């Protein structure tokens, strides 16, 4: 059996154990692999309450944004360095110039990874990759995802001394090959849901049957979400959106994908078929 436990999410999915903390961000334990770290020590706090490990040998970062990377310092250890898998573009500075509902900040706000490469490298073995990497048997960090379909531009990045629109090229996901299809675990899915699904299928050689994590459907209008539902209907056995999926998208998908839809949050453990090597 493959167990995936949500350690960080915007919402808490269970009242017991008491004291679980939600925050804007994402992290999940995929067996003995940690995917993303949230933005604080909540990832360790929640893991401890749930009786899960608070140290990991393998950590995959989905992309640079602070709500997925700022908890990384909880796992850095110069004496017992974890392996951290990430895209080399993760170190490019990223900024927000204004709130989502319009307007602008007096100065750009840094929203990228809050640690320097040197700081992370002092407590971890960095594995920078653009191509897929098999982290452990049947678990793949996908690397840079080809974008044949729609993607999501989020904030700004530095380029040639200027701020330009950011397509978040460092966005990656984790694909788990199981005995009954692939489970795709997403941090924020800036590369686009369809792009991520199709690339995971190409890497694992299986159909994606389970989708878990941040899908960034919050960026779509109702018609766009219905288009996604049309594409997913009959294709997947589980849709467990978190974080940046958005309340409206969750509402639509719970109706359109009723048999596959599951509401999840911090503390939810999803039991999937055993991993296939």
| pLDDT 10s digits, 220-267 | 999 999 999 999 999 999 999 999 999 999 999 999 998 999 999 999
Q: pLDDT tens, 130-184?
A: 999 999 999 999 999 999 998 988 999 999 889 999 999 999 999 999 999 999 9
Q: What is the Cα–Cα distance from 82 to 84, expressed in whole angstroms?
A: 6
Residue 2 contacts residue 178 (beta carbons within 8 Å): yes
Hey, what CATH class is 2-272 in? alpha beta
Domain ranges of the chain: 2-272
Per-residue pLDDT reduced to its tens digit, 26-42: 999 999 999 999 999 99
> How deeply is 83 buried, as exposed, middle or buried, from its count of CB atoms within 10 A (0-12, 13-18, 19+)?
middle
Is 42 within 8 Å of 72 (Cβ atoms)?
no
- List of residues 6+ apart from 30 with CB closer than 8 A: 2, 4, 139, 174, 176, 185
- 3-state DSSP call for residue 263? coil
């Amino acid at each position: 059996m493959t167990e995936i436990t949500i350690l960080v999410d915007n919402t808490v999915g269970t009242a017991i154990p008491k004291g679980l903390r939600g925050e804007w961000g994402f992290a999940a334990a995929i067996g003995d692999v940690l995917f993303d770290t949230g933005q604080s020590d909540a990832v360790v706090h929640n893991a401890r309450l749930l009786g899960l490990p608070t140290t990991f040998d393998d950590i995959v970062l989905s992309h640079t944004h602070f709500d997925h990377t700022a908890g990384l310092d909880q796992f850095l250890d110069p004496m017992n360095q974890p392996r951290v898998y990430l895209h080399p573009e993760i170190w490019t500075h990223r900024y927000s110039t204004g709130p989502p509902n319009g307007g602008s900040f007096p100065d750009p706000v840094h929203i990228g990874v809050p640690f320097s490469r040197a700081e992370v490298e002092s407590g971890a073995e960095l594995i920078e990759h653009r191509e897929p990497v098999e982290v452990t048997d049947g678990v793949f960090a996908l690397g840079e995802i080809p974008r044949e379909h729609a993607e999501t531009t989020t904030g700004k990045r530095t380029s040639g001394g200027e701020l330009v629109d950011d397509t978040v090229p460092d966005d990656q996901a984790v694909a788990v090959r199981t005995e009954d299809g692939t489970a795709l675990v997403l941090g924020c899915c800036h590369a686009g849901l369809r792009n991520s699904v199709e690339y995971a299928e190409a890497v694992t050689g299986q159909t994606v049957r389970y989708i878990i994590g941040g899908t960034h459907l919050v960026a779509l209008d109702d018609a766009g979400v219905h288009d996604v539902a049309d594409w997913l209907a009959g294709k997947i056995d589980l849709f467990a959106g978190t974080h940046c999926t958005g309340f409206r998208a969750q509402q639509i998908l719970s109706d359109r994908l009723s048999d596959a839809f599951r509401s999840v949050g911090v503390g939810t453990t999803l039991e999937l078929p055993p991993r296939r090597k």
